[in-house]
Amino acid sequence: MYNILIFAILAGFIIVVGKKLSLYGNAIGDLMGIDKSWIGIVMLAAVTSLPEMVTSISSTLMGNPQMAVSNIFGSNLFNIFVVFIVDIFVLKSTSFSSKVSSENFMAGFWSIILTLIFLLGFSFPTEGIMNISLFSLIILGVYFIAMKSIYLYEHQKNNKFSKKLEEEIDEFHEVEEGDITLVEAKKGFALNAFFVVVLGTGISFVGDRIASTPFFGIELGESFVGLILIALATSLPELTVSIEAIKLKSYDMAAGNLLGSNLFNITIIFITDLFFRDGYIYQSLNGFHKLTAILSMIILLVFMMGVMFKNKKRRYDTYIIGLVYFIGMYILYLKR
């Protein structure tokens, strides 16, 4: 129980730090003239995913690649499960998917492509360059292609969506930013990024202790702890930012943050492979991670279908997302 208490305290700090990171990240983009829609889909998503990246790197360096990869796809599962949370506990009388523009499909599409590449790497592990798998290198390359295509799609195909997203991000941050200068924003960003590194390392260490400590005679294991506890803790910034955005009716920014975070999270596989010294990261994984990746695609597809077939009152996609998540967690618990 001592480890659980420390874990909860660290998770609480991650919420605060994650929110501050998004605030300072937005201020930097604003003061440097970086396009706001680019911040919403890419920069804000990457910033709120820093805990996932740091925690996965820490887990890998500690010899727990199972926990590192479970954290990645566990976070992707939880990010879409946020849709269920906000529908049931925040919006209540309407559905989140009915408020989201179909322009967010691009980020969802690329998330599925990257997940498929991971599954190929898992099924056909091959050698690469400098102890990095070929499929990890492909994931990195496709990520940059995805970012470029999202940028071009927003600015050339649908400028109206870009302007709407800019307005939403302005509204989300205008009260908190106040009179922050560029120097203050950079210092604040660097300081909170440092705290993310410290907290992420701490979360990994405590998670490792929890994984090896039986509770009521049951040992949860590295993969399941990474999937549930670590993924939940590192996804708290996305949850916090998304709920705050939804309260301000900035639905597209919330969706962009969740889908963009999923996209960035999969790219962390390349980084974990880079830090993994005992061969290629895929060689250390088992069927647990394959199933987790497949479930992350299924739950994402359900959300995308909900956006495509909008219905303000009948929240079929919401309930299916919740059902897939809970059934998936139970199956993965059995396979841990």
143's enclosing H/E stretch is: helix 134-152
| The predicted structure's pLDDT at residue 30 | 66
Tokens of 239: 């949850």
Contact (Cβ atoms closer than 8 angstroms) between residue 67 and residue 226: yes
- Residue 41 CA, distance from chain mean position: 12
Residue 215 bridge partners (DSSP): 218
How many helices and strands in the chain, by DSSP H and E?
A: 15, 0
φ, ψ (nearest 5 deg) of residue 235: -90, 0
If you ran DSSP here, which 8-state letter would residue 309 be given? S
pLDDT-wise least confident of 60-69, 164-173, 256-265, 319-328: 164-173
pLDDT in tens, 48-100: 787 888 888 888 988 888 888 988 998 999 999 999 999 888 887 778 888 88
pLDDT in tens, 15-60: 788 777 767 766 776 676 555 445 555 666 777 787 888 888 888 9
Rounded distance, CA 41 to CA 60, Å? 27
| The predicted structure's pLDDT at residue 41 | 58
- DSSP string over 64-85: -HHHHHHHHHHHHHHHHHHHHH
User: Minimal CA–CA distance to 82: which of 203, 310, 215, 243?
Assistant: 243
Beta strands in the chain (DSSP E): none
**Tokens 């992707």, residue located:** 76
What percentage of the chain has pLDDT greater than the value 70?
79
| The predicted structure's pLDDT at residue 221 | 62
Neighbouring CB atoms inside 10 A of 182's CB total: 12
Domain boundaries, the chain: 2-335
Instruction: Give per-residue burial for 91-120: e unless 16+ CB within 10 Å, then b.
Output: beeebbbbbbbebbebbbbbbbbbbebbbe
Q: What is the largest CA-CA distance in the chain?
A: 58
Residue 129 bridge partners (DSSP): 132
| The predicted structure's pLDDT at residue 13 | 84
Domain 2-335 adopts which CATH fold? Answer: A middle domain of Talin 1 (1.20.1420)
User: Minimal CA–CA distance to 303: which of 245, 234, 244, 255?
Assistant: 255
| The predicted structure's pLDDT at residue 201 | 75
User: Minimal CA–CA distance to 76: which of 316, 303, 283?
Assistant: 303
- Residue 73 CA, distance from chain mean position: 8
Instruction: Give per-residue burial for 4-17: e unless 16+ CB within 10 Å, then b.
Output: eebbeebbebbbeb
Rounded distance, CA 316 to CA 306, Å? 8
pLDDT in tens, 93-142: 778 888 888 778 888 999 999 999 999 998 887 777 778 899 999 999 99
User: Minimal CA–CA distance to 23: which of 191, 147, 148?
Assistant: 191
